[in-house]
Amino acid sequence: MNLDNIDILIVDKGQDLAGQVRSIFTKQKINIKTERNIDRVLDYFESRTFDIVLVTGVTYNTGKMNGEDILEILSDSSPLTQILFLVEKEDIETAMSALKAGAYQYSKLPISDKELNLLIETAIEKRPVYGKNLLLKNSKEGKAKFENIIGQSPAMRNVFKQIQQAAATDISVLLLGETGTGKDLAAQAIHQQSARHGGPYVPVNLGALPTELVASELFGHEKGAFTGATEQRIGKFEQAGNGTIFLDEIDAIDEKVQVSLLRLIEKQKFQRVGSSKLISGNARIIAATNQNLEEAVTKGIFRKDLFYRLEVFRIDIPPLRQRGDDICLLIEEFIKRYNNNFQKNILDVSPETIEMLKTYPWPGNVREMKNAIQRAVLVCTDEILRPEHFHARFQSPPRQEPMIEIKLGTPLEKIEKEVIIRALEESDDNRTQAAKTLGISRRGLYKKMDKHNID
């Protein structure tokens, strides 16, 4: 692979790693920049970008700023940059923290020349083809579609990158998000991007199954195992083989099935209901829920050990109300789809309709929008979608935005701190959304939080 003119930033306390990279790629014109302090990493991206950022565990944990926050900002702001994390002393917990924050891949130190070479080449080969460095001015264009997911907002670009990171490994993934956010599409995307894409993708909606049939559906059963079992049945895990199984509404399974699933994850073996024979189960597990699993663990409803086994890599799918102009992209996509389905010729959407749809809170998220556009296209008799083509609930006045009352004479420092705290509260501590509400960059938000000692 030709790596000429690839830019690499190496964040390490010493120069050994930089020397190793130079010695590996002596025949290629690779541009290497070194930095000892992780707190300075974001400064480099104000004026340029890098193809690869190599970060060691010791620098990750010794900066004044939280290393996870820095990688998260970098991942959001420069989606083309592949972050490689090299962890010392098999500190897997730190490696998982870096992966969740935005690192593409990790490896252990010391690392051989062959492995480091492969790590860098693979990262370049697999880097995303959307977006630019958003810390640079006038660089807000991005790809609008990833697999079958529509979006180019910062929140969705982060999801796309996390999907690629999850697909590069073979670990369990837990997808969290409200109903209708597209967790099923994210699971399919992980499968399609992974090395298992040639194998089956088997989705199972656990919430739609009667409790007494869940075990049979997942693991299969033998003839006569229970009343009504008139023949042998192959379960979903056997059907998935070496592919991927998607367990939607994982919160719905009872204690007995939780134990069986935990045993399968740990031993990669399971039994059909009514059989003592062990069957190998090598499918990659992706689970999803719209419930608070941590709260379920605290209440004793969901096993803690199973939760930690499933949450090795967690991806939070944002609600539609936090995705900004993705709403317009989705409107365009669904109009195109239902124009074809219903042989319509809708060419435009009125400004008041756009405003109505952008201010609606979308409690049912993308699924609700799809159904709303479907109905509107069906009833529309001209070429422009108008508010009257939508259900009455969409035409209700938008909710009042939260207000802050400030007394004249209040110091500006106190006002700024209060506004930041309220923005964080309104966004449920979603810092990307809070920064957007305040009209500042995420990096700017972190600086102000540090200035005012806001945790």
Cα separation, 77 vs 97, whole angstroms: 18
Q: Which letter does DSSP use for residue 170 in this model?
A: -
Q: Per the domain annotation, does 133 fall within a domain? A: no
Q: Please tell me whether residue 188 adopts helix, strand or coil conformation.
A: helix
Report the pLDDT averaged over residues 269-293: 93
Kind plus residue range of the DSSP H or E element containing 415: helix 412-426
Residues 174 and 265 occupy one common structural domain: yes
pLDDT band at 397 (very low <50, low <70, confident <90, very high): low
Q: Please tell me whether residue 80 adopts helix, strand or coil conformation.
A: coil
Q: Per the domain annotation, does 401 fall within a domain? A: no
Q: Per the domain annotation, does 224 fall within a domain? A: yes
Q: What angle do CA 57, 154, 161 make, to 5 degrees?
A: 50
Q: Please tell me whether residue 266 adopts helix, strand or coil conformation.
A: helix
**Residue, of 65 and 155, whose pLDDT is higher:** 155
Q: Per the domain annotation, does 138 fall within a domain? A: no
Rg (CA), the chain: 25
Residues 270 and 357 occupy one common structural domain: no
**Residue, of 398 and 288, whose pLDDT is higher:** 288
The pLDDT score that the predictor gives to residue 272 is: 93
Report the pLDDT averaged over residues 45-50: 82
CA-wise closest residue to 48 among 142, 133, 141: 133
CATH (domain of 86): 3.40.50.2300
Q: Which of 51-65, 174-188, 365-379, 400-414 is predicted with the least confidence, judged by mean pLDDT?
A: 400-414
Residues 159 and 249 occupy one common structural domain: yes
Q: Per the domain annotation, does 183 fall within a domain? A: yes
The pLDDT score that the predictor gives to residue 131 is: 44
CATH (domain of 443): 1.10.10
pLDDT band at 400 (very low <50, low <70, confident <90, very high): low
pLDDT at 346 over 50: yes
Task: Write out the two tokens for 315.
Answer: 């991806």
Residues 272 and 348 occupy one common structural domain: no
Cα separation, 83 vs 52, whole angstroms: 6
Cα separation, 154 vs 151, whole angstroms: 9
Average pLDDT, the chain: 87
Residues 120 and 22 occupy one common structural domain: yes
123 exposure class (CB count in 10 Å sphere: 0-12, 13-18, 19+): buried
pLDDT at 444 over 90: no
pLDDT band at 430 (very low <50, low <70, confident <90, very high): confident
pTM: 0.62
Q: Per the domain annotation, does 263 fall within a domain? A: yes
pLDDT at 309 over 90: yes
**Residue, of 396 and 7, whose pLDDT is higher:** 7
CATH (domain of 204): 3.40.50.300
Q: Which of 163-172, 261-270, 279-288, 364-373 is predicted with the least confidence, judged by mean pLDDT?
A: 163-172
pLDDT digits (tens, 9 = 90+) for 89-122: 667 778 777 777 777 788 888 899 999 999 999 8
Contact (CB, 8 A) for 87 and 303: no
Contacts of 409 (CB under 8 A, 6+ apart): none
Q: Per the domain annotation, does 2 fall within a domain? A: no
**Residue, of 142 and 59, whose pLDDT is higher:** 59
pLDDT at 138 over 50: no
Report the pLDDT averaged over residues 52-57: 93
From 293, 316, 339, the end of a domain falls on 316
Residues 30 and 91 occupy one common structural domain: yes
The pLDDT score that the predictor gives to residue 137 is: 37
Task: Write out the two tokens for 331.
Answer: 């409107």
Contact (CB, 8 A) for 165 and 84: no
User: Which residue type occupies 104?
Assistant: Y
Residues 237 and 312 occupy one common structural domain: yes
**Residue, of 248 and 406, whose pLDDT is higher:** 248
Residues 185 and 309 occupy one common structural domain: yes
CATH (domain of 373): 1.10.8.60
CA-wise closest residue to 177 among 394, 284, 322: 322
CA distances from 67 to 49, 70, 240, 260 (A): 19, 5, 38, 37
Contact (CB, 8 A) for 448 and 440: yes
The pLDDT score that the predictor gives to residue 39 is: 87
The pLDDT score that the predictor gives to residue 287 is: 98
Contact (CB, 8 A) for 49 and 422: no
Widest Cα–Cα separation across the chain = 80
Residues 334 and 436 occupy one common structural domain: no
The pLDDT score that the predictor gives to residue 244 is: 97
Contact (CB, 8 A) for 182 and 160: no
pLDDT band at 142 (very low <50, low <70, confident <90, very high): very low
Contacts of 108 (CB under 8 A, 6+ apart): 86, 87, 88, 90
The pLDDT score that the predictor gives to residue 132 is: 45
Contact (CB, 8 A) for 432 and 441: no
Residues 206 and 189 occupy one common structural domain: yes
Q: Per the domain annotation, does 370 fall within a domain? A: yes
pLDDT at 134 over 50: no
Number of domains in the chain: 4
Residues 290 and 352 occupy one common structural domain: no
Residues 175 and 284 occupy one common structural domain: yes
pLDDT digits (tens, 9 = 90+) for 198-209: 999 999 999 999
pLDDT band at 129 (very low <50, low <70, confident <90, very high): low
pLDDT at 135 over 60: no
Q: Which of 126-135, 286-295, 352-361 is predicted with the least confidence, judged by mean pLDDT?
A: 126-135
Cα separation, 47 vs 150, whole angstroms: 30
Structural domain harbouring 11: 7-126
The pLDDT score that the predictor gives to residue 396 is: 67
User: How large a percentage of the chain has pLDDT more than 90?
Assistant: 53
